[in-house]
């Protein structure tokens, strides 16, 4: 299938090469002349946004959506949507897929109206729309693109992701299909959990170092990976079983916090856990 990828950065480059390996014809569009030139010199098809291109049935948007303060900068995304909108041809039954990380509600409230306004076409009647977040690690982007763990498709309506599911579903990774907002929210659950885990162990490392236990940190963490059910059971804590409770967890967190305060040690994450332990 002929596929256009808007954005040839880490995500777009790795994803496009994986599609090429799957036998698809890929053209990259990128605003950085250096990236376009590099792709061309390596035998790939690439163009700048103002260069002509033939319409195709499938578009993947992989542009950056940086955060400024607590606001998301959608400038690059807006430009990508405008370019794709001008190339949409209803006779091709085109599908537009956003892979960039976007806040919940962005697809329905902002991206879709933008596509309709710029193209003069109607969603569902003239084009399909899917939000498909990427789960690539920057240092392992090529590996993750060629052997993904899972694909998540957020669909405007059931069935709108059929072409995307067909393209991505050829390997062993499962394809999960949900409404648009669920896919958008899941990407932030994904990233927030990773950030939370890193922050927790960073705090515990600081506590250990203050106790002159720096040499034992990796051993303690290694034991935790094997002893704590939250580490070896992927489903632990994800079921709807209410707030933190039981004979051990609440009392031990409070006792540990009390001890840390007496030692002038800080753990903002545990403090926040204590404050919200009764919440569901």
**41-98 pLDDT, tens digit each:** 999 999 999 998 899 999 999 999 999 988 999 999 999 999 999 999 999 999 999 9
Express as a percent the part of the chain with pLDDT over 90: 87
**132-180 pLDDT, tens digit each:** 999 999 999 999 999 999 999 999 999 999 999 999 987 889 999 999 9
Range in 10-14, 23-27, 36-40, 264-268 with the lowest mean pLDDT: 264-268
32: pLDDT confidence band, cut at 50, 70 and 90? very high
The pTM assigned to this predicted structure is: 0.92
149 in Cβ contact with 174 (< 8 Å): no
CA 160 – CA 154 distance, rounded (Å):
9
Domains and CATH numbers, the chain: 2-186 (3.40.50.720), 240-280 (no CATH)
CA 193 – CA 231 distance, rounded (Å):
13
């Amino acid at each position: 299938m002929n596929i256009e990828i808007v954005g040839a950065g880490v995500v777009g480059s790795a994803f496009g090469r994986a599609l090429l390996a799957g036998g698809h014809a890929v053209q990259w569009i990128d605003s950085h002349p250096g990236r376009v030139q590099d792709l061309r010199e390596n035998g790939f098809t690439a163009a700048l946004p103002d260069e002509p291109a033939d319409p195709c049935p499938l578009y993947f948007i992989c542009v950056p959506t940086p955060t400024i303060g607590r606001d998301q900068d959608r400038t690059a995304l807006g430009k990508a949507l405008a370019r794709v909108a001008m190339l949409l041809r209803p006779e091709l039954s085109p599908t537009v897929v956003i892979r960039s990380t976007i806040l919940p509600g962005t697809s329905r409230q902002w991206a879709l109206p933008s596509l309709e306004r710029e193209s003069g076409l109607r969603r569902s009647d003239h084009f399909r729309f899917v939000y498909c977040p990427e789960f690539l690690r920057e240092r392992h982007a090529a590996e993750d693109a060629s052997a993904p763990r899972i694909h998540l498709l957020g669909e405007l309506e059931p069935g709108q992701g059929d072409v995307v599911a067909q393209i991505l579903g050829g390997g062993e990774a499962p394809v999960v299909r949900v409404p648009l907002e669920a896919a958008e929210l899941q990407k932030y659950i994904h990233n927030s959990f990773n950030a939370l885990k890193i922050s927790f162990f960073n705090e515990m490392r600081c506590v250990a170092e203050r106790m002159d236990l720096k040499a034992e940190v990796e051993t303690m963490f290694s034991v935790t990976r094997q002893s704590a059910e939250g580490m070896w059971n992927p489903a632990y804590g994800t079921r709807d079983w209410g707030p933190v409770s039981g004979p051990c967890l609440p009392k031990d967190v409070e006792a540990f916090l009390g001890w840390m305060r007496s030692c002038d040690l800080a753990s903002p994450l545990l403090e926040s856990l204590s404050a919200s332990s009764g919440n569901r």
